[in-house]
Amino acid sequence: MERQISLMKSMSGFPTPETLSEVAAFKTRVQSGGRISLPEAEREALGINEGDVVQTFVIPIKTERNRSEKDG
């Protein structure tokens, strides 16, 4: 729990050099109910288990598909 508190305090903005080894960046698709999935490889690399609390930064990726769905 101490490690999680320390990590959350350090990640009030973007990751610092000290915490950079404890983050992952990947693309995922929003599923029904607004759910997103963390890929298994990233969960294993970061030691993330079911029920763990994680901090997320969401950056929408604009694609032609997204634009046409909104227009249609």
Residue 21 or 28, more confident: 28
Q: How confident is the model at residue 8 (pLDDT cuts 50, 70, 90)?
A: low
- Amino acid residing at 5: I
- Amino acid residing at 66: N
Residue 11 or 42, more confident: 42
Q: Mean pLDDT across the stretch 6-32?
A: 71
Q: Is the pTM of this model over 0.85?
A: no
Q: How confident is the model at residue 67 (pLDDT cuts 50, 70, 90)?
A: low
Of 46, 62, 39, residue with least CA distance to 7: 46
Tokens of 23: 């983050």
- CB of 62 closer than 8 Å to CB of 27: no
Tens of pLDDT, residue by residue over 22-62, are 778 888 899 999 999 999 999 998 899 999 998 888 888 88
